Amino acid sequence: MQNSDIRWRSENLTMATVYDLCVVGAGLVGSAAARHATLGTGDEAKARVCLVGPLEPKTKDVTSSRTIFGCHYDEGRIIRDIDPCVTWSVLASHSIQRFRDIEKVSGYIPHVRHTGIQFFSEVGFIWSGTDGNETLNDVGNTKEAKETDTARRLTAAELQNLFPYFNYGKHDLGFYQKTNGGHISPRRMVLAQQTAAKQQGCDVIYEVVTQVVEDKMADENVMEVKTESGRCILAKKVLLATNAFTNLCDLLPRGQRLNMWSYPSCVAFVEISEESAKRLSGMPPVIYRGKGAEDWKPPAEAIGTSDDYAFYMLPPIRYPDGRFYMKQGCYHNLTPALETLEDMKAWYCNPPPRELVLNTASVMTSFVKGIEPLSITGDTCTTAYTPSKHPYIDKISENLTVAVGGNGRAAKSADEIGRLGMELALNGRWDTDLPREKFRVILANPKL
């Protein structure tokens, strides 16, 4: 199959086309679901699948007509399968185990040398903080519950010896995960998933969905997925992988809303020299919660809660502009929640408050030795939270399923979340040992 054949098969779609499954949302979860749906297993016929969602915008302009954005327009997300929660740890483990295979199949073209789309940098990961920190204790308990040997406990002295460029406090400890940990390029992971899905027969339609409704066609109900261009896509089943935008668009049955809140957040990008990037080339991503070392700068409000630091940090990554950036984010919830498309668009398209960006980046020079920022910039993102703190992977109706609610943890687990959502939507199966009750949808009372 030629590249041109797998790029725009959607151009030949007609109103007579009825897909087995239409996945709405072409981010990390939706792209994974589309790839899994087109695999085909055993005697099962390969499903006819389409994936619908917009391409990454070239610019983010509040005056444009664009209303849908995503958090996967980036080059760095932390990957780990150690977590304070066993459920999230299991989801991540299953996803990470498939990363290398996804990279391989994304590069397969008959009679052409295999290359693959590389998106996973397995440089390790450290979850660290002050001894006795509640979250850190939960990480240790989860590690024991899973009986995993992918991470080992290190004292402050051991952390300092292994990672001399970090400045840990004498009361710190950490869990170091050498394998199954590191970071991904979410852009390239989405590209890999979609490339593999296309090669397996998936039609990818790069448009914004404006409405999903159920209609009757002949003797059976079908779903109509309508797009901004006026296209109407017909499918027997629909899977929504639309995360923060699920309640804001006309995607759910009339009068229904998910009990889910989307809060604004931001990250800081600290640009460093290529020489510094080479010096830190073996640096793993870090999550830290605790008091910090004695010589750290006092935590600003954006760094954590109470008197503690609570942040995550990625190693130097070369971005599309050719420069090296270290990304840092903090575990803060900015208010108010984003409740309309207008709110969401304004947050995505405007720069984050400068003071917030500088506060977010301020701890980096305390924690990483010898950092001399060339520039400090920021970007906006959102996090969709559920009351259960687990993703919603559940049926809304017989023909409509959702896989949404990342809770700030979905990137590393997206492939498994997408697979579970696909299995439930397409085949009606709950294909995991994890209790289904943890993933049930909770509906919110509609606003009057």
Q: What is the CATH number of the domain that holds 283?
A: 3.30.9.10
Query: pTM, whole model, 2 decimals?
Result: 0.92
Residue 426, token pair as written in the block: 């397409």
Residues 6+ apart with CB under 8 A from 67: 208, 341, 344, 345
Query: What is the CB-side half-sphere exposure of residue 206 using CA atoms within 13 A?
Result: 9
Distances (CA, A) of 413 to 19, 70, 83, 94, 273: 26, 17, 11, 8, 32
Residue where one domain finishes, among candidates 347, 362, 382:
382
* Statement to judge: residues 252 and 266 lie in one domain: no
Whole-number pLDDT of residue 15: 47
CB 418 within 8 A of CB 32: yes
CA distances for 210 relative to 53, 227, 241, angstroms: 11, 5, 14
Residue 196 lies in a domain: yes
pLDDT of residue 242: 97
d(CA 265, CA 245): 15
The CATH number of whichever domain residue 35 belongs to comes to 3.50.50.60
Residues 361 and 280 in one domain: yes
Q: Could you give the CA distance from residue 85 to residue 326 in angstroms, rounded to a whole number?
A: 27
The answer to whether residues 159 and 290 belong to one domain is yes
Q: Are residues 9 and 57 in the same domain?
A: yes
Please give the pLDDT value at position 228.
94
| Same domain assignment for residues 50 and 192 | yes
- Preceding omega of 336 cis (within 30 degrees of 0): yes
Q: Per the structure block, which two tokens stand in for 105?
A: 């199949």
- For residue 187, what pLDDT is reported? 96
d(CA 109, CA 101): 15
* Triad 304, 306, 311: Cα angle to 5°: 15
User: Looking at the structure, do residues 58 and 166 belong to the same domain, yes or no?
Assistant: no
Task: Please tell me the predicted confidence (pLDDT) of residue 306.
Answer: 56
With a CB cutoff of 8 Å and minimum separation 6, the contacts of 411 are: 28, 72, 77, 78, 79, 184, 186
Q: Given 382, 402, 436, which residue is the final one in a domain?
A: 382
253 shares its domain with 346: no
Range of the domain at 361: 137-178+261-382
Same-domain status, 174 and 254: no
Domain count, the chain: 2
pLDDT at 63: 87
Residue 84 is given by DSSP the state S
230 occurs within a structural domain:
yes
Q: Name the percent of the chain in helix, strand, coil, to the closest 5.
A: 25, 25, 45
Q: Are residues 219 and 309 in the same domain?
A: no
Residues 68, 233 contacting (CB under 8 angstroms): no
Residue-by-residue DSSP string for 365-431: HHHBTT---SEEEEEEEEEEE-TTSS-EEEESSSSEEEEE--TT--GGGHHHHHHHHHIIIII----
Q: What is the mean pLDDT of each run of 10 residues along the chain (448 residues)?
A: 39 65 98 94 75 93 88 95 94 97 81 74 96 91 69 94 96 94 97 95 96 80 94 97 96 95 94 96 95 84 65 97 95 83 94 90 91 95 95 97 96 98 97 97 72
